[in-house]
Structure 1
Amino acid sequence: MILAQAKLGIRVELTENRTTVFVVENPKMWRKIQKSFMRQVLGEEQGWILSHEEIEIAWNKYVELILNPLLADENSKRILNKFLQSVQNVAVNEKRWMQYQELNQVIQNFFYDMEMEFDFEYEIDESVDISKLAKAVGIHIVQEYDNDLERLIKYCILVRDLLKIQVFIFFDLKRYFSEKEIQDFYAEAMSRKWNIILFESSQFSILEEEKYYILDKDCCFIS
């Protein structure tokens, strides 16, 4: 996988056994890159290109941008909508089809019996939309974890599975976690073959699992 930005002279290859780390020394450029990424994951063209085997990756579909790992929300609207869609698909698959039909009949009978309590007639849909039913009963993803690193890992697993995320991009991740925690995160990421990119505003100790690049104070790219 390749990350490129022509104006900055950036073209780096992401590898499975090394985490790509960019150190951005210029605060103005640091902010500019953040804002560019925030727009790009919303579908706006900002000049950054991710590609795999010469096929460009859509940022708004397959890139997860995490500016603050403490604010990663497992029950955000985007994730919850995808989760509800998955619940719907599972509910009507071959394995669950008979259970779905039985549940649908129970719900139909309940509302038809209840009609006698009113002085007018009403109708309901013949088939129950499981995703709407799940939302009505308050289905949500459980947020249980022992520490912040575990939460981050669980969040990444979740969005990888539900949203089919191909690349995770973090800003200043090393300011939130110790060196040991970062190494543990790398180990988890590598075992799951995640593509990880870090953008850091200052340089920390270079770890064995990392490949460092620098955008210096003059915005010159050093590889």
Structure 2
Amino acid sequence: MTKYDAVLLDLDGTLCEYTRGTEQLLPAAFDAVGVEPIFSPEAYVERVDSYADRADSMLERRRLCFADLAAENGHDRQLGREVADAYAAERDHSNVRFLDGGAQAIERLAERFPLAMVTNGGPDMQDPKLESLGIEPYLDTVVYAGYDLPAKPDPEPFERALEALDVPSDRAVYVGNNYETDVLGAAAADLPSVFVGEPPADGPVEPVASVNSPGELPSALSSLPR
């Protein structure tokens, strides 16, 4: 038995990963447009989330980001938007795969708990992944943080999921792989967390457990004391 009545889950990096990441997709987008690289993958990753309040979709966020990066590097803003569109064409949101044991973990957890997905990203970005992985039937609700409410680590996405499940925060646990957005965000909503990976030794919040892969989640939750 476990002390929890519900499980909330992150998606990217917790349950699944892209088969091609930004370091492969961005050069392909430049090639498709027929230009040499005009900014780095690191510059894009560092900046793109800052456009969340100005765009309703990841595509539009990326177009704004690429246009600014193009202009800052001496190129026309329209070129940046063309690269963003080529990037979107290269990125197949169904081109994702489960991390080790992820598929089995979802099935086993769904047998024991109501499940909620709390993920940073809108439906245009996340729904194709959920559909490709076949996760949707196992979820009682999906909260798109950063889309129609603040992004994690704001507590509101976690609170929205708890409300949908009708479970208090002390009877649920959140599973994620990003310490800042997942562990600290969950703590801001008074929600304990399980960390996928190695949490920082000096972090201000300690997860109730940590696992190396999602396949370890069912046994890790079973071993927590009531």
User: Which of structures 1 and 2 has the larger relative contact order (alpha carbons within 8 angstroms, sep 6+)?
Assistant: 1
The structure richer in helix per residue is 2
* Greater C-alpha Rg: 1
Q: Normalising to structure 1: TM-score of the pair?
A: 0.25
